[in-house]
Structure 1
């Protein structure tokens, strides 16, 4: 992703969510089309052609798709990218389709050609469900959904463990791309000198970023 600039001070992380939403829409439409074709094949069965050549092509396609999915899985684990996860869904869909075609070709050689349509219908439902999950995740990012509650609780516990901190309130979080944005109010003794209050705010930011390196932390000091 492009780094933050003068016009986008919080970076361009939400572009990933937009890309994920677009891919979810594209994949969802593909799932519907696959389902329609599967129903048509169930209503009007058609004989399969040269199964030997088809099996060889599908085997090669499966090997290449598996290699690409392994690479994408590594990238997702390292970055948590929504866009790459959505793209991975696209290739998982290809993998399922190719697997169903391969199985259908094998079964057709033994006199079961109609199972091709049933496999296609099942895969269409799976792809549509997966596309909805990607769309929901993208929507959560675009709508600034909070991080899971246990993450906020862990952050508050880290800050409360700092000597001199009396309390924490208004802890808010959101996600943009692979970066977290965290805001919180630190409750400090009212008579504390300004430079000491500042040092405690810096320490609060440090302990959170030490545990969660992807966090951008903003701390506000409140006298109590």
Structure 2
């Protein structure tokens, strides 16, 4: 099965929106950092720089993943999304290490902050822009179940935490607690690193063909077993390639069933499964009931 035109369009729009938002935030945060000298604002700026790099990788990977199957890639290009997830994790982990080093340096060598009102205004703007992007990404994830967009949304969710922490740090400096600035920056770095690990774990699971969730496997077996003529199911194997769930199974059918009737039952099972998993790639092997799991 291939992704519908509408879902492919949503995926492309999500990648364009991500790059555009990150670019806009870089410009406003750069101005805020130059004016305030806040290491928390610098932390948020570096995070946005990483966002642009990750989002550009994401854009290219999604475009690649949407290419149809060809002679060299018979199962399509869906795993490009997982590769993008790993790239994003690397970007995010790198930014976390940089931020931690900057925060420690600022703790050791504190510096005064200036024009805090500008920094606060910029961070409020950044939070609003990020919330709008996240709302759109959540919609795209519901419609497409895209791994790449889910990874993108996860690191923008960390941005939301980053921007909020930066806002709190600036407010603390405004009220006479400048030491909060590097402490919050260090906390942001730890949180970003944790997010990178989560993104990498999901990408590795997909690249290593991890089975679908237990509830999905249970649904597959329940749906298949409910089709008239199916006497049993065994050898179920599942994985995900990009947005496409892949499933293979053996159906146990009556021994003397004509081939054309057996084929019709398999077609019914496939149709029933695609109601639950519309874009699934399904392979069914027919076994005589008397052979059972030995087939």
Shift of 1:167: 0.7
**Deviation per residue, 1:100-139 (Å, 9 max, x gap):** 2222221112110000111111111111111111101000
What is the correspondence of 1:1-224 to structure 2 with a 5 Å cutoff? 1-223=66-288, 224=290
1:156·1:168 contact (CA, 8 Å) conserved in 2? Answer: yes
Q: Distance in 2 between matches of 1:162 and 1:101?
A: 56
- Distance in 2, matches of 1:32 and 1:217, equals 43
Gaps of 5+ in 2: 1-65, 291-295
Greater helix share, 1 or 2? 2
| Deviation, structure 1 residue 43 | 2.1
Deviation larger for 183-192 or 100-109 = 100-109
Residues 138, 195 of structure 1: alpha-carbon distance in 2 compared, 3 angstrom cutoff: same
Q: What's the secondary structure of 2:238's corresponding residue?
A: strand
| Distance (whole Å) between structure 2 residues aligned to residue 141 and residue 7 of structure 1 | 20
Which consecutive unaligned segments of at least 5 residues does structure 1 have? none
What is the distance in 1 between the residues matched to 2:257 and 2:286?
A: 11
SS at match of 2:69: coil
TM-score between the two structures when normalised by the length of structure 2? 0.72
In structure 2, how many angstroms separate the alpha carbons of the residues matched to 1:82 and 1:157?
A: 26
Distance 2:262 2:134 in 1: 49
Q: Which residue of 1 aligns with 2:25?
A: none
Aligned-partner SS, 2:234: strand
Tell me the SS of whatever aligns to 1:172.
Answer: strand
Contact 1:58 1:102 in 2 (8 A): yes
Residue 186 of structure 1: how far off its partner (Å)? 0.6
Deviation at 1:16, TM superposition (A): 0.2
Task: After TM superposition, give the deviation of residue 204 of structure 1 in Å.
Answer: 1.3
**Could you tell me how far apart the structure 2 residues matched to 1:196 and 1:109 are?**
77
Greater CA drift, 120-129 or 83-92: 83-92
Within 1, Cα distance between the matches of 2:182 and 2:216?
Answer: 45
Give, in whole Å, the separation in 1 of the partners of 2:219 and 2:160: 39
Return 24-33 or 74-83, whichever deviates more.
Answer: 74-83
> Quick one: structure 1 residues 151 and 91, their matched pair in 2 at CA, closer, same or farther if it must change by over 3 Å?
closer
Instruction: State the match for 2:19 in structure 1.
Output: none
Whether contact under 8 Å (1:100, 1:116) holds in the other structure is no
Deviation (angstroms), 1:6: 2.6
Q: Distance in 2 between matches of 1:154 and 1:98?
A: 40
